[in-house]
């Protein structure tokens, strides 16, 4: 039963950028539907690109804000506050012990 959970998390992680990508294309398409607004086709392409970039960026920013404010969503997707995947559960993770050689500035073989 572990594989369906992993697959669901993977699809959840991949779905977010795909939705932002689709929304940006939709914004560009809506902008290009306005006939006669642009005299030069090059300006229409630039405006569509700008609209797609703006909508995609705003959607990703909104998604990250939602992740930061929703502990339930973070728990369901197994991500931290920044949207990065949590690789190990807290109860299964080993405590991290700082390496004394790093703290003292020595190399593992004892030389400086």
So what's the pLDDT on residue 96? 47
79 — phi, psi (to 5°)? -125, 160
Name which residue leads in pLDDT, 56 or 109. Answer: 56
Domain boundaries, the chain: 2-86
Mean pLDDT, all residues of the chain:
75
> Angle 41-69/2-32 helices, nearest 10 degrees?
140
With b meaning 16 or more CB within 10 Å and e meaning fewer, what string describes 49-85? eebbeebbeebbeebeeebeeeeeebeebbbeeebee
Place of tokens 């630039």: 46
- pTM beyond 0.85, yes or no: no
Write out pLDDT tens, residues 4-57: 777 777 777 777 778 888 888 888 888 888 767 788 888 888 888 888 888 888
Write out pLDDT tens, residues 69-104: 888 878 877 777 777 777 765 555 554 444 545 555
């Amino acid at each position: 039963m572990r594989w369906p959970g992993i697959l669901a998390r993977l699809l959840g992680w991949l779905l977010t950028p795909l939705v932002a990508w689709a929304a940006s294309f939709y914004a560009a398409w809506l902008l290009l539907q306005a006939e006669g607004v642009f005299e030069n086709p090059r300006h229409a392409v630039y405006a569509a690109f700008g609209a797609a970039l703006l909508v995609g960026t705003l959607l990703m920013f909104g998604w990250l804000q939602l992740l930061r404010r929703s502990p339930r969503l973070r728990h369901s997707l197994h991500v931290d506050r920044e949207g990065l995947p949590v690789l190990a559960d807290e109860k299964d993770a080993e405590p991290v012990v700082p390496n004394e050689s790093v703290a003292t500035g020595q190399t593992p073989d004892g030389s400086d």
